């Protein structure tokens, strides 16, 4: 019986072969790696004309393969902190797109997608409960993460978006000072911090483009130096909400106190190097 079946199968396979078209000559072995479209938080609205993402609301990326795993496990890339950037460069299909000039929020969205397609949506890491402070092993579902609604947020803060100038303006409620903010790209975000004790003022000098229409550097610096702590907090919070980005919120349930709510997912090594 078994032999008969084997023979039948073998016969069927031969028949199929005979019916099939002859293989094309000079055929090369090119495996097609599946690609996905990742929605850009910026919707391509802040990229100037001539930029490959100008007006594009999504970007095409390849799924991670062994080649990308080699990048992520390369000791020297891990040491110099370039592994994730090299990974993104490798998976972005349009090679005219430079990782360095991606807006921060767009880069975050691509990074998140790469992780989800590469290792799945379940992200396990240690997390501290915001209610009782217990540190626990937590599993986050990355599919809950969505792109933030920056246009709606800007409206709520009374902000004005200028796509041409690549900026968002905001009037500080207490002092009625009108600030114009820049949207940083990956390169600008990374620029070396000169003094680690001045992180907040350095952040402001990067993002503030003008104060009451005045873009003189000394004028901006004196404004930053005299800004009240209250305004500083308000401006930082408003800026984070108004710029296009992914909203890293995921559901968390504490196994100790029963707290349940949306929390910001911490980005730790396990994100790309799951244990």
Residues that bind Zn ion (CB under 5 A): 129, 131-132, 254, 256-257, 259
Element (H, E) at 101: none
- Which residue, 58 or 131, has its beta carbon nearer to Zn ion? 131
Instruction: Please state the closest distance from residue 259 (CB atom) to Zn ion, in A.
Output: 4
- 142 phi, psi to nearest 5 deg: -65, -15
- Which residue, 69 or 255, has its beta carbon nearer to Zn ion? 255
Q: Are 175 and 227 in contact (CB under 8 A)?
A: no
Contacts 24+ apart (CB under 8 A), 33-36: 33/62, 33/63, 33/65, 34/62, 34/63, 35/60, 35/61, 35/62, 35/63, 35/93, 36/60, 36/61, 36/63, 36/113, 36/117
- Which residue, 135 or 165, has its beta carbon nearer to Zn ion? 135
Instruction: Please state the closest distance from residue 137 (CB atom) to Zn ion, in A.
Output: 13
Instruction: Please state the closest distance from residue 260 (CB atom) to Zn ion, in A.
Output: 9
Q: Are 87 and 115 in contact (CB under 8 A)?
A: no
Gap between the Cα atoms of 182 and 154, Å rounded: 14
Instruction: Please state the closest distance from residue 33 (CB atom) to Zn ion, in A.
Output: 42
Instruction: Please state the closest distance from residue 258 (CB atom) to Zn ion, in A.
Output: 7
- Buried b / exposed e over 61-83, threshold 16 CB at 10 Å, is bbebeeebeebbeeeebbeeeeb
Instruction: Please state the closest distance from residue 264 (CB atom) to Zn ion, in A.
Output: 16
- Which residue, 74 or 131, has its beta carbon nearer to Zn ion? 131
- Which residue, 215 or 256, has its beta carbon nearer to Zn ion? 256
- Which residue, 240 or 256, has its beta carbon nearer to Zn ion? 256
Instruction: Please state the closest distance from residue 132 (CB atom) to Zn ion, in A.
Output: 3
- Which residue, 119 or 127, has its beta carbon nearer to Zn ion? 127
What's the token pair of residue 38? Answer: 């990742």
Residue 250's alpha-carbon distances to 23, 124, 264, in angstroms, are 50, 12, 6
């Amino acid at each position: 019986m078994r032999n008969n079946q084997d023979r039948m199968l073998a016969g069927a396979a031969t028949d199929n072969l005979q019916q099939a078209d002859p293989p094309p000559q000079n055929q090369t072995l090119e495996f097609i790696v599946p690609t996905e479209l990742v929605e850009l938080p910026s919707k391509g609205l802040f990229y100037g004309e001539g930029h490959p993402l100008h007006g594009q609301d999504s970007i095409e990326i390849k799924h991670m393969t062994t080649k990308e795993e080699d990048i992520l496990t390369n000791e020297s890339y891990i040491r110099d902190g370039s592994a994730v950037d090299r990974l993104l460069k490798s998976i972005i299909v349009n090679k005219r797109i430079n990782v360095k000039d991606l807006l921060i929020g767009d880069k975050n969205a691509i990074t998140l997608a790469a992780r989800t397609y590469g290792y799945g949506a379940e992200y396990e890491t240690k997390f501290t409960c915001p209610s009782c402070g217990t540190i626990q092993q937590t599993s986050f579902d990355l599919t809950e993460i969505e792109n933030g609604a920056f246009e709606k947020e800007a409206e709520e803060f009374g902000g004005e978006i200028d796509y041409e100038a690549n900026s968002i303006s905001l009037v500080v409620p207490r002092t009625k000072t009108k600030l114009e903010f820049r949207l940083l790209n990956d390169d600008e975000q990374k620029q070396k911090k000169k003094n680690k004790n001045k992180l907040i003022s350095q952040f402001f000098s990067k993002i503030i483009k003008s104060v009451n229409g005045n873009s003189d550097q000394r004028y901006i610096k004196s404004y930053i130096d005299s800004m009240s702590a209250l305004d500083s907090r308000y401006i930082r919070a408003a800026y984070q909400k108004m710029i296009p980005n992914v909203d890293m919120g995921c559901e968390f349930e504490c196994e100790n106190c029963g707290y349940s709510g949306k929390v910001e997912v911490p980005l730790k090594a396990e994100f790309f190097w799951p244990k």
